[in-house]
Amino acid sequence: MSPEYAVDGHFSVKSDVFSFGVLILEIISGQKNRGFFHQDHHHNLIGHAWILHNEGRSLELMDSHLIKSCCLSEVLRSMHVALLCVQRNPKDRPSMSYVVHMLASEGALPKPKQPGFFTERNLFHETKTSSKKPTLSSCNELSFTVMEGR
């Protein structure tokens, strides 16, 4: 969900571009943005991708299963385009037609600006009340009640 929609309820075609960028990052990393956990920091997947991009270590985001079956230059380009899609200001995000053009071409790409929702979560309260690491799945519990007459 784009920051402008989550905070102010404003929705536009640029909101879809933001979501598409998140989707690209999720596909490349094999992880969901929501509930993302990294042992070195408390950023979400978007923040983690941004840090890696700025440090020139973008390939570290890539799922290990993807490495064997992909073109690394295409993955790097896709990650760069994804970061352009998740920029904080909707005016800075490309249109979807330009996203398609960037993915299909090999030309130079603009430098992305800081993404929306690039925040470090404060897990102090969570770690104080629970010593468990976040789980990647949920457990659904079900109970049955049998009604008997007197």
CATH of the domain at 119: 1.10.510.10
Q: Is residue 139 part of a domain?
A: no
Q: Is residue 143 part of a domain?
A: no
Whole-angstrom distance, CA of residue 150 vs CA of residue 133: 47
Q: Is residue 135 part of a domain?
A: no
* End-to-end CA gap in the chain: 53
Q: Is residue 79 part of a domain?
A: yes
The answer on pLDDT for 146 being more than 70 is no
User: What are the phi and psi torsion angles at 41 (to 5°)?
Assistant: -160, 175
Give the pLDDT score at 65.
82
Q: What is the pLDDT of residues 1-24, one digit of tens each?
A: 677 667 777 778 888 898 999 899
Q: Is residue 65 part of a domain?
A: yes
Q: Residue 28: give the domain boundaries.
A: 3-129
Q: Is residue 106 part of a domain?
A: yes
Q: What is the pLDDT of residues 37-95, one digit of tens each?
A: 656 656 778 888 888 899 998 888 888 888 778 888 898 999 999 999 999 888 999 99
Q: Is residue 147 part of a domain?
A: no
> For the chain, what is the domain count?
1
Half-sphere exposure of 83 (CA within 13 A, CB side): 23
Identify the band that residue 119 occupies on the pLDDT scale cut at 50, 70 and 90: low
Residue 146 amino acid letter: V
Q: Is residue 28 part of a domain?
A: yes
Which tokens hold the place of 100? 């398609």
Of how many residues is the chain composed? 150
